[in-house]
Amino acid sequence: MRDLVAVLELLVAIVSIAGTITAALWLHRTGLQLKATGLATQRLGHIAEERQRRIERAREIAQAVGNTSSAVGLGTDVVQASHSAIASIPFDVLESFPATRATSRVIRGIHDETTAGVYRAINGVNKAIGDAFRAQSQRAQAQLSPEPTRSVESERVSEEPRKPHIEPAQPLAIEAAEDDPRG
């Protein structure tokens, strides 16, 4: 009987040691997984920070483009007004003499139309460049913005069964052939 008790005690000891080793290995593996999860979380944090910096840079570029476009537009308006004021001086002088009045008015009209076209072109190019940069900046911001996440609530299955979608029947080719006058 003593031998049987000794064998049972030995078996219990072996099972206990095996259980302890299994638990230790499981704890070690769990620790490694936690460490890997921590490193992955840290990496994702760095990625999120970098993404945020890029979004901020894209916003700054968009703001700079907007400011530059406004400055070019304002500068163009100032130059156009100055040009018009300066150009009007000799035309006014020429129009004060009856001998040159008619010719001066024709030339002033041509001059004013030409300069207006040039300044419209400058403003158009400025707007086109500004719009292109703004569109590119918006695309960059959209690409860098985090994608929306789905909540657990949106994943719940409805209690009502879904009705199958049935497409309407298409007419058969035979029916079309019956109506065909060719026979």
pLDDT tens for residues 76-98?
Answer: 999 999 999 999 999 999 999 99
Kindly report the pTM of this predicted structure. Answer: 0.53
* Cβ neighbours of residue 133 closer than 8 Å, sequence gap 6 or more: 61, 62, 65, 69
**Calpha distance 88→112 (Å, rounded):** 10
117-158 pLDDT, tens digit each: 999 999 999 999 888 888 888 887 777 766 655 544 444 444
**Calpha distance 24→137 (Å, rounded):** 54
Looking at the predicted structure, is the pLDDT value of residue 53 above 80? yes
C-beta of residue 115 within 8 angstroms of C-beta of residue 84: yes
Cα dihedral: 61, 63, 65, 68 (round 10): -130
26-41 pLDDT, tens digit each: 999 999 999 999 999 9
User: φ and ψ at 140, to 5 degrees?
Assistant: -65, -45
